[in-house]
Structure 1
Amino acid sequence: MEFLLVTPQSRPGVALIQLNRPKELNALNGQLVGEIRDALQALDADEAVRVVILTGNERAFAAGADIKEMAGKTAVDMFLDDRAGTLEQIRRFRKPLIGAVSGFVLGGGCELAMTCDMLIASETAQFGQPEIRLGIIPGGGGTQRLTRAVGKARAMEMVLTGEFISAREAHRVGLVTRVVPVGQYLEEAYRLAARIAAMSPVAARLAKEAVNRAFETPLEEGLQFERKNFYLAFASEDQKEGMAAFVEKRKPAFKGR
């Protein structure tokens, strides 16, 4: 891939995807977004991979969409390109996806970060949806996912002014899982990934589905979905192994079956 570095077994059970357009601050052009989708589809089919980390570099996770690529496009061009649809495919990745972000996390980069299940941020990370400064609005989920993450009032201020928020503020309002010094954000993501990779891959997928459903449905429907996935977990070999290991006071050996 031209704009990605992909390491399927960066650590046991953990794959690493690194955005690699450093001169452009990892600006998201159509090819890069497509490569992320394709890499995740390949890793979804790799049974050895239980968790994926998505990262950029210390200066920028992704500073937004590639404006040079977009500036001359028409509404029909954008409709046919369907960049937002590709981001939605990324969001539907079934395994746990951890974002490890630093520096600029802006515009499409912020929208990409919000497709992740958890975000580890360095102290230098800045989050924002500055599209209004260009005479447009967020188009890859920014008005929707940001509002669900930080609340209407804060999201409205960010979207209408284009202002950035710090990593600490992002953590305070619930956008970020945790904030660490800049030299530690990737290693912290690996620590979190290792903890998740040690769990049942089947249960992890079922749990991810259930948590995501909480943002998409009324409470009663979400509870019904949770119960369905809870019952389904009892059809797995991992459930039998996990409970047997608990009774026998040993560490479980989950196989994802």
Structure 2
Amino acid sequence: MNYENILSQTSNGITTITINRPKKLNALNKATIEELHDAFKAADKDKSTKVIIVTGSGDKAFVAGADISEFAHFNEKEGAKLAAQGQELLFDFVENLSTPVIAAVNGFALGGGLELAMACHFRVASSNAKMGLPEVSLGVIPGYGGTQRLPQLVGKGRAMEMVMTAGMIDANQALNYGLVNHVVEPDELLPLAEKIANKIMRNSSVAIGKAIKAVNANFKDGKNGYKVEIKQFGKCFGSEDFVEGTTAFLEKRKADFPGK
């Protein structure tokens, strides 16, 4: 599929989705959010894709926020609809994909950009990365899940400070907070993400998808994460991957998972 605002390329089991609006610092507008949804959906359905990496074009920004010009004139009802549609179409969608998603954060990840990174299953960052939720400096709050996911990742106090001050933290502080898993030099960012992706691909994609469901359940209201874990654990026993994994272990050989 041809996209106007993003690039999507699949190679050796990894689909790399690149937000490609460098003149706008890869800001998220409505069209880009829709294209990202389509690209993530296509990658998740593609049996050859085992891991998805999302990053920004250039070396200045992952995503420097939302395109403010699109909603500066909105009223209350329109603002609420904007947040609801965005969360459903992209941010919640990414979080709940069965295919692992790694955010490779290069440069600025602000507002909707940090919210997109936080919706991914985990994050790696370049040493020049800057992250923050500056929305209150515009008279609004994070609306794409930022007030929920940031406290889950860094704790309530740190999240409150980041939101209230509208300030940025650098990559090392993000690492210290637990917001990102690794920090490397810019030219090492995608190689690191790919190295981690290759480690993931050695394992059962069926089991990984079920693990994502179980982990996410712990952060959802009305869900008992332990019960979800029990259910997903049981479902693994009906998979071909389980048969191959246990057989390979008993035969003392490397498993060749069929992904079924």
| Length-normalised TM-score, structure 1 | 0.95
Calculate the aligned-residue CA RMSD, in Å: 1.5
Q: Deviations over 1:172-195 (max 9, x none)?
A: 111111111111011100001111
Greater shift, 193-202 or 88-97, is seen at 88-97
Structure 1 segment 98-247 matched on structure 2, within 5 A: 98-216=102-220, 221-247=224-250
- Is this contact kept in 1: 2:133–2:162, CA < 8 A? yes
Name 2:64's counterpart in structure 1.
63
- Measured in 2, the distance between the counterparts of 1:83 and 1:217 equals 20
- Measured in 2, the distance between the counterparts of 1:27 and 1:217 equals 31
Deviation of residue 83 (structure 1)? 2.2
Name 2:4's counterpart in structure 1.
2
Q: Deviations over 1:96-141 (max 9, x none)?
A: 0010011100000000111100101011111100001111111111
- Measured in 2, the distance between the counterparts of 1:249 and 1:239 equals 15
- Measured in 2, the distance between the counterparts of 1:90 and 1:99 equals 11
- Measured in 2, the distance between the counterparts of 1:227 and 1:3 equals 41
Name 2:54's counterpart in structure 1.
54
Deviation of residue 80 (structure 1)? 4.1
- Is this contact kept in 1: 2:96–2:216, CA < 8 A? no
Name 1:75's counterpart in structure 2.
76
Name 1:85's counterpart in structure 2.
88
Deviation of residue 74 (structure 1)? 2.4
Partner SS, residue 119 of structure 2: coil
Task: State the number of aligned residues.
Answer: 254
Write the letter of the residue equivalent to 1:136.
Answer: V
Unpaired segments ≥5 residues, structure 2 = none
